[in-house]
Amino acid sequence: MRELYPPRQPYNEGKLKVSDLHTIHFEESGNPEGKPIVLLHGGPGGGCPPVYRQYFDPKKWRLVMFDQRGCGQSKPHAELQENTTWDLVNDIEKLREYLNIQQWVVFGGSWGSTLSLAYSQSHPDRCQGLILRGIFMLRKKEIRWFYQEGASCIFPDAWEEYVKPIPINERDDLLTAYYQRLTSPDAQIRLEAARAWSIWEGSTSKLFPDLEIQNSFGIDAFAEAFARIECHYFINKGFIEPEDKLLLNIDRIRKIPAVIVQGRYDVVCPMISAWELHRAWPEAEFIIVPDSGHSMSEPGIRTCLIEATDKFADW
């Protein structure tokens, strides 16, 4: 098993105004002369914790991380206006140009894998490689599995807490019921719904549930941005049409070196999506981690990701 690289501080941090409304926070760490790589975090709305830096060899990589619109240190917090997949794709390009990077490797997991596919298919000439984990393509069956029925059979105890804020007569459409509460003018209603939504994901992300992760997902500021932005994207079908667009456009990225890392027992983003991506894109290296769920911090997934970043750094 591979251990994380030692903790480090960024050598550059800043703010980039990407629209009249939104300003994103970004940072660079590692080697300023190293190979550029951009990390696209999950959620949407998850932000970039410092531990993400430790998946990359600091001597070889120039790591760029940024908090997507509305989350982390980006402003305004938990904002839904002007917040779509294609706004974020444009933000990635604006950041690349601002940092004067010609090409970079793209690293993304969970929602970050969705955004990585959308970005690379829009700008394949800017991508030297793709490292993807916990594949999610924001299709109806994927959303329904986790937020309406499916995952509840595996985690009925956590599911009971997830549905608590929603009256029984509204539970046939939990996504809509949550969206109404997460956009309520009443701050208390928003926060109750946000914490239940976020803790549900934190409770199911690892093969062996982790109380520390569950608690971190329930922190008020994190939960509000995470839940509001996720639900906003999901109720709008990710702003991706047709829903199989990311699979249908694989030819645009087929020749880009890529690796797909997927936990066998991922409940949040079940392996069927990674498998369908693999079938459409057999040129990409496909790694099934047999003893892992969803989280990139699980030992098997962590090891595969670090091995992938080491390999890509030397190409």
Helix (H, G, I), strand (E, B) or coil at 104: strand
CA angle in degrees (0–180, nearest 5) for 123-127-129: 140
pTM of the model: 0.97
Structure tokens at 226: 């995470």
Catalytic residues: 110, 266, 294
Sign of CA dihedral 2, 39, 142, 295: positive
pLDDT tens track of the chain, all 315 residues?
A: 999 999 999 999 999 999 999 999 999 999 999 999 999 999 999 999 999 999 999 999 999 999 999 999 999 999 999 999 999 999 999 999 999 999 999 999 999 999 999 999 999 999 999 999 999 999 999 999 999 999 999 999 999 999 999 999 999 999 999 999 999 999 999 999 999 999 999 999 999 988 888 889 999 999 999 999 999 999 999 999 999 999 999 999 999 999 999 999 999 999 999 999 999 999 999 999 999 999 999 999 999 999 999 999 998
Structure tokens at 22: 């939104």
H or E stretch covering 150: none
H or E stretch covering 85: helix 85-98
- What distance in Å separates the CA atoms of residue 105 and residue 278, rounded to the nearest whole number? 19
- What distance in Å separates the CA atoms of residue 223 and residue 294, rounded to the nearest whole number? 19
Strand arrangement, sheet containing 104-109: 12-17, 23-30, 61-66, 35-40, 104-109, 127-133, 258-263, 285-289
Q: Say if residue 70 is exposed, middle or buried (CB neighbours under 10 Å; 0-12, 13-18, 19+).
A: buried
CA-to-CA dists, residue 2 to 139, 239, 300, angstroms: 33, 37, 9
